[in-house]
Structure formats: structure tokens, C-alpha cells
């Protein structure tokens, strides 16, 4: 007697599983890209709002900083409910953004400022572009913006280098003072890559008076 064979062969089943696997990988990749785009947009929005709030509050408080010691505003911003969605308080000095990178808002006797420390992250370039774009948007009220890059010398000593840009009222191209408002996307990438290439650490500052 002959019986009709029901079901599918092992080869057919493996083929179906392979197709499902390819589709799953594509879906996960698409989801990851969408999530990263969302995080970058959220970071740009929250950093812009944090800058505005920091500028506003800095001129309403008595500056108690002394030479060599900064005054920090993380606790004050938190208690006044002035931390934007996407920014959290890590402690009395540091804030964190959606990527868990450190931010601090500070005052010295002559300037106020906001600083952002980059971690070793594969998306550092996009994060850095967001930050510089915020600084550029507010160049009219900035004194300067600069990076502080930490590296190790051949002798094992810690060395620091920086790239300084100036706000609208302080930039003078005739004196080689570069203007924040004139930055292009190419300039963003040059500044960001010089900062991010050092695994020892890099911080971008923005200051105002």
C-alpha cells in the first residue's frame, strides 16, 4: 500500500527558519536604528533646554564661588524642577543625559558654564554634533566654548590640550579668534573627532558672563 506523505521535509523547515532568521535580524537592526535616532533627538532637545535653564538660573543666584573652587547648580536645578525630560541628577555635582554621560553646570568668580564629558561610545560623533549645535544656536550669549582633551605623554604624564571658540561679542577673526556662529558641519566633525580620539577623556565646555 502507498500512503500520501504529509507535512514538510527537513530541508523545507530549515529554509523557513532561515527566512525567519533573516527577517528577525532586519527587524532588530531597524528597531535599534530607530531607537538611536529617538535618543539622539531627545538628547539634542534636552541639552538645549538644559542650557536655557542653566543660563536663566545662573543670574538669579548669588555666585558664592571662590578662586579655585567652583559653585555647582545640579542640586538647585533639580530642586526647582528645572531638569528637562531626558536629564537626571546623578549627585549634587553631576547630571546625566539619556546616554548616561556626565554634565555639570557651574560658576567661577568671572564666568558661568555648562560642561559635557564624553564616554567611549560608538555614537560619540552624533552626540558631539548635537552638543556643538546647541552651543552654536546660543553663540549670541556665550563667552566661549572649548574642549579639554586629556591624553598620556610618552613619559606617562597627563597632558591637556584644547580648541577654543568664541561667542558673538568676543570673536575676532583678525586676531585668530574663531567664531562659534561660523561653525560648519565639517568643523563639527573636526572638533569632535579630535576630542573623541583620546580614550583618556574629553570635555566640552560652554561659558557665559
Q: Is the pLDDT of residue 4 over 60?
A: no
Mean predicted confidence (pLDDT) in 116-143: 88
pLDDT of amino acid 136: 95
Instruction: Encode pLDDT of 13-63 as tens digits.
Output: 666 666 776 666 665 666 778 888 889 999 999 999 999 999 999 888 878
112-118 and 102-107 strand pairing: antiparallel
Instruction: Encode pLDDT of 90-129 as tens digits.
Output: 999 999 999 999 999 999 988 999 999 987 566 788 999 9
Instruction: Encode pLDDT of 181-202 as tens digits.
Output: 999 999 999 988 888 876 667 8
**Distances in whole angstroms, Cα of residue 8 to Cα of each of 5, 21, 23, 51:** 9, 19, 21, 62
Q: Is the pLDDT of residue 174 over 80?
A: no
* SS3 state at 194: helix
Sequence spans of domains, the chain: 10-208
Q: Is the pLDDT of residue 5 over 60?
A: no
Closest listed residue to residue 161, CA positions, set 184, 195, 187, 131? 195
pTM tops 0.85, yes or no: no
Q: How many CA atoms within 13 Å lie on the side-chain side of 104?
A: 13
pLDDT of amino acid 69: 84
Amino acid at each position: 500500500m502507498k500512503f500520501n506523505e504529509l507535512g514538510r521535509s527537513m530541508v523545507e523547515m530549515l529554509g523557513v527558519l532561515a527566512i525567519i532568521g533573516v527577517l528577525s535580524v532586519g527587524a532588530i537592526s531597524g528597531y535599534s536604528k530607530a531607537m538611536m535616532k529617538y535618543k539622539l533627538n531627545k538628547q539634542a532637545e534636552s541639552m538645549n533646554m538644559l542650557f536655557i535653564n542653566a543660563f536663566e538660573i545662573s543670574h538669579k543666584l548669588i555666585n558664592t564661588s571662590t578662586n579655585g573652587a567652583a559653585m555647582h547648580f545640579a542640586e538647585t536645578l533639580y530642586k526647582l524642577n528645572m531638569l528637562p525630560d531626558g536629564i537626571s541628577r546623578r549627585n549634587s555635582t553631576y547630571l546625566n543625559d539619556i546616554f548616561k554621560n556626565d554634565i555639570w553646570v557651574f560658576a567661577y568668580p568671572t564666568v558661568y558654564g555648562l560642561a559635557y564629558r564624553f564616554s567611549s561610545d560608538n555614537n560619540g560623533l552624533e552626540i558631539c554634533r548635537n552638543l556643538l549645535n546647541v552651543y552654536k544656536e546660543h553663540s549670541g550669549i556665550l563667552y566661549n566654548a572649548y574642549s579639554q582633551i586629556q591624553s598620556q605623554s610618552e613619559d606617562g604624564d597627563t597632558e591637556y590640550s584644547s580648541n577654543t571658540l568664541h561667542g558673538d561679542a568676543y570673536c575676532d577673526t583678525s586676531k585668530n579668534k574663531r567664531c562659534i556662529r561660523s561653525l560648519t558641519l565639517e568643523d563639527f566633525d573636526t572638533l569632535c573627532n579630535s576630542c573623541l580620539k583620546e580614550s583618556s577623556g574629553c570635555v566640552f565646555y560652554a561659558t557665559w558672563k
